[in-house]
């Protein structure tokens, strides 16, 4: 039986609730869970002030409600699962190292920021800085997978080091900014400056992209690894075309920084 939370009082200012994590709650009784501290702005309040809680002692959490002001859900989690029916606020799954997060609704900025492993699936739209590095940090997500069914905001995968991000809807500017590794799959393309300052890693776009002048067209090809990647993402319902359907146009860059990343843009056979 999972632990179920129903939002009963809308926070008027952001509610910082990093206690909403299986690592914190897996061993706690219902009363202990309700007594956990959350920060409503600068005020420390018990979690029970904002949520009705059912169940106890489970690594699986189910949250209901418009949680767009609730931040840090699943912060640093390493196990178990969180399922959200409704929207979520910033920093969902930041620093997580394992477990699964599923959101049936929209998410805000910084989901999976600096995550080390685990899986995040957003059924709606996401904000900016998906899987990114926090300001000043050298590296964003180090491993794991993030799937966004809707659109995404600015700086998707900024400084990511490894792992996979799939954005089914359009992404905004600076996707893959300063990317250092890993893979971003853009099913509906992105706005401008994709891959700026990237020095490793792969961005694959299934729609044409406006390329920066610091990316050089190298060749047209169907790399083997795309087949392997396609096999991996198929389990999440993501179809990547390959083979006879067309080729990938391979761009190398960003030439304005050292080392080189790659952007592959799908060119269907006409």
List interacting residues with another protein (CB under 8 A). 134-138
Question: Nearest approach, Cβ of 211 to another protein (angstroms)?
Answer: 25
The CB-of-128 to another protein minimum distance in angstroms stands at 17
- Order across the sheet with 37-40: list the strands: 43-46, 37-40, 15-16, 70-71
CB of 129 to another protein, least distance (A): 14
For another protein, the closer CB: 43 or 135: 135
> Considering beta carbons, is residue 6 or 134 the nearer one to another protein?
134
Closest Cα partner for 172 from 187, 160, 155, 188?
155
Residue 264 pairs with which residues in a beta bridge? 204, 250
Closest separation in Å from C-beta 134 to another protein = 6
Q: How far is Cα 180 from Cα 142, in angstroms, rounded to an integer? A: 10
Q: Name the pairing type of β-strands 43-46 and 216-221.
A: unpaired
Distance CA 14, CA 202 (A): 35
Q: How far is the CB of 135 from another protein (least distance, A)?
A: 5
CA distances (Å), origin 248, targets 74, 132, 183, 226, 270: 37, 26, 15, 10, 14
């Amino acid at each position: 039986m999972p632990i179920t939370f129903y939002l009963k009082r809308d926070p008027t200012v952001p509610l910082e609730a990093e206690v909403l994590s299986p690592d914190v709650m897996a061993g706690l009784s219902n009363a202990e869970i309700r007594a956990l501290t959350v920060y409503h702005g600068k005020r420390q309040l018990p979690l029970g002030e904002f949520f009705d809680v059912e169940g106890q002692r489970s690594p699986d959490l189910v949250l209901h409600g418009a949680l767009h002001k609730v931040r840090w859900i699943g912060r640093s989690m390493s196990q178990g699962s969180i399922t959200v029916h409704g929207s979520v606020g910033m920093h969902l799954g930041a620093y997580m190292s394992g477990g699964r997060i599923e959101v049936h609704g929209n998410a805000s900025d910084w989901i999976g920021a600096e995550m080390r492993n685990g899986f995040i699936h957003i059924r709606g739209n996401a904000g900016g800085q998906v899987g990114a590095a926090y300001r000043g940090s050298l590296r964003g997500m180090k491993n794991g997978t993030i799937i966004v069914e809707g659109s995404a905001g600015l700086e998707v995968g900024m400084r990511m080091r490894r792992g996979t991000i799939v954005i089914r809807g359009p992404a905004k500017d600076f996707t893959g900014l300063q990317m250092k590794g890993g893979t971003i799959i853009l099913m509906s393309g992105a706005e401008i400056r994709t891959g700026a300052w990237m020095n490793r890693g792969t961005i694959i776009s299934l729609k044409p992209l406006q390329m920066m002048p610091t990316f050089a067209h190298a060749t047209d090809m169907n790399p083997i690894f795309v087949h392997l990647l396609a096999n991996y993402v198929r389990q999440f319902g993501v179809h990547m075309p390959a083979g006879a359907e067309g080729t990938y146009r391979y761009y190398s860059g960003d030439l304005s920084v050292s080392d080189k990343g790659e952007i592959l843009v799908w060119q269907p056979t006409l």
